[in-house]
Amino acid sequence: YETLDSASPRDFADKITIVIDTLRATSTIVTAINNGCKEIIPVSEVEEALSLAQNLDRDTYLLGGERNGVLIEGFDLSNSPLEYTSDVVKGKTIILTTTNGTKAIKKASSAKEIIICSMLNVKAVADYLNEVKMDAVILCAGTEGKGTRKFSLEDVITVGAVISRIDGADIDDLSYASLLLYRENRHDLHNLMQNCFHYKYLISIGYKDDVDFCLQEDIFDILPKYYNGTIKG
């Protein structure tokens, strides 16, 4: 397994790609799928989301996502997984745009298979990798900070949680570093994260409950996949 903090399309060819954005895009996607939404359409830009919505019946879809971590004007939901409850999302198409996460998913489009991973479904992802025994790339979405995209510790911790569940994995150094970091800190992730950029930012704008939720390990046994422009469970 290779873990990538940034990547070009050729890195994914013929490989399974696992996309991780622990805080919070892939946690939101996994939660929405678990709670019975019909599908999620990830898009990069707000304008794309709005124009896609124009072609759908108003009662069939929800617009979700964030910019700077908060609700986008005119959207139904922010990027808080706690808003994606079953009474809200059941049977709905969700058009989602986030700063880094949905872009990372789209970036992996040339991969053989694209799996959406968060701490919440880490065992389901590892079980699948153990079963298929294929080359895999793990793509960490990272976080936008001061105008550039940055490495995020919360993504790397989720990589470690996946890798720790793979039998006899042949891994690169970033995957190995992720594994060591996870093993050392798995019992107190909040202590590890307390100085992390996006963790601190989300708490500062009132999303402590989201952070607590997203750092729960293996609570959903689902394996969302991105195929043909949509994510389904």
| Site of interaction with ligand MLT (CB under 6 A) | 21, 23-25, 66, 69, 79, 98-101, 141, 202
> CA torsion sign, 96 to 29 to 20 to 208?
positive
Whose Cβ is closer to ligand MLT: residue 81's or residue 179's? Answer: 81
Whose Cβ is closer to ligand MLT: residue 114's or residue 202's? Answer: 202
| Helical pair 153-163 and 173-185, crossing angle rounded to 10 deg | 90
Query: Shortest gap between Cβ of 131 and ligand MLT (angstroms)?
Result: 28
Whose Cβ is closer to ligand MLT: residue 79's or residue 175's? Answer: 79
Q: 63-71 — which CB contacts under 8 Å span 24+ positions?
A: 63/94, 63/95, 64/28, 64/32, 64/94, 64/95, 64/96, 64/97, 65/96, 65/97, 65/98, 65/102, 66/98, 66/99, 67/99, 68/99, 69/201, 69/202, 69/205, 69/207, 70/205
Query: Shortest gap between Cβ of 110 and ligand MLT (angstroms)?
Result: 20
Least Cα distance to 26 among 203, 159, 181 occurs for 159
Whose Cβ is closer to ligand MLT: residue 101's or residue 224's? Answer: 101
Query: Shortest gap between Cβ of 130 and ligand MLT (angstroms)?
Result: 27
Query: Shortest gap between Cβ of 142 and ligand MLT (angstroms)?
Result: 8
Question: Which residue in the block uniquely carries the two structure tokens 């979405």?
Answer: 141
Query: Shortest gap between Cβ of 205 and ligand MLT (angstroms)?
Result: 9
Whose Cβ is closer to ligand MLT: residue 14's or residue 45's? Answer: 45
Question: Which residue in the block uniquely carries the two structure tokens 């704008």?
Answer: 205
